[in-house]
Structure 1
Amino acid sequence: MGKRKASKRVRPTRRAAPLETTFTCLFCNHEKSVSCTLDKQSGVGNLHCKICGQSHQCIITALSAPIDVYSDWIDACDTVAHQGQDDKSGNADSAQAPAEHEGNYSGDEGY
């Protein structure tokens, strides 16, 4: 007679930690002062700093998360900063127009 096959122990699955909805402000550097709201019905994401009043608004998709809106804000601030540096150095003629953000979808183009 053979030995019975032992059943494998079922390991509990770990839950992913919930993503942040409050972030550090890029302008006043206060931690957890920027709150993010997503209006998926209208496709708009909003950021607002409770301390300095800075705000940002961008287009979102059904799969967007608050971190996506925050990273879009960082990218927009970097773009403005680089444009300001080009204008001050006198190289405004050689400055390229910023590329359109790939996350901004306006309809069912190509689907």
Structure 2
Amino acid sequence: MGKRKKKSKPPPKKKMKPLDKTFFCPFCNHPDCVECLIDIKNLTATAKCWVCLEEFNTTANVLTEPVDVYSEWIDECERVNNVGNDEDN
């Protein structure tokens, strides 16, 4: 005698959306013009805009992704803007 077929199927696996590799520039506001390059050999990461040629350099490690480099750039821009606003008061 054979086994009965199982009626319930496991839920389908959710596909993860891949992380972005190009971003909008915080200076010229062009979409998809910032590219993040990571050099693991030298432990450096660079985010550079193709349009306005603005550039941000930071340190990297094996776990660093392009979105991490971009978010560090945005955080640094906000920090510099807040320091400038604090001096005006």
TM-score with structure 2 length normalisation? 0.84
Provide, for residues 27-78 of structure 1, a one-character-per-residue CA deviation record: whole Å limited to 9, x for no partner.
1100001011011111111011011111001111111100000000011001
Residue ranges of structure 2 left out of the alignment (5+ in a row): none
Residue type of the alignment partner of 2:61: T
What value does the CA root-mean-square deviation take over the aligned residues? Answer: 2.2
Distance change (3 Å), C-alpha of 1:62 and 1:32: same
- Count of aligned positions: 88
Segments of 5+ residues of structure 1 without an aligned counterpart are: 90-111
Q: What is the TM-score normalised by the length of structure 1? A: 0.68
For residue 38 of structure 1, what is the aligned residue in structure 2?
38
Matches for 1:19-38 after TM superposition, within 5 Å: 19-38=19-38
Of Structure 1 and Structure 2, which has the larger fraction of its residues in strand?
Answer: 2
Tell me the residue number matched to 2:80.
80
Runs of 4+ aligned structure 1 residues displaced above 3 Å come to: 7-15
In proportion to residue count, which structure has more helix?
2
Identity %: 33
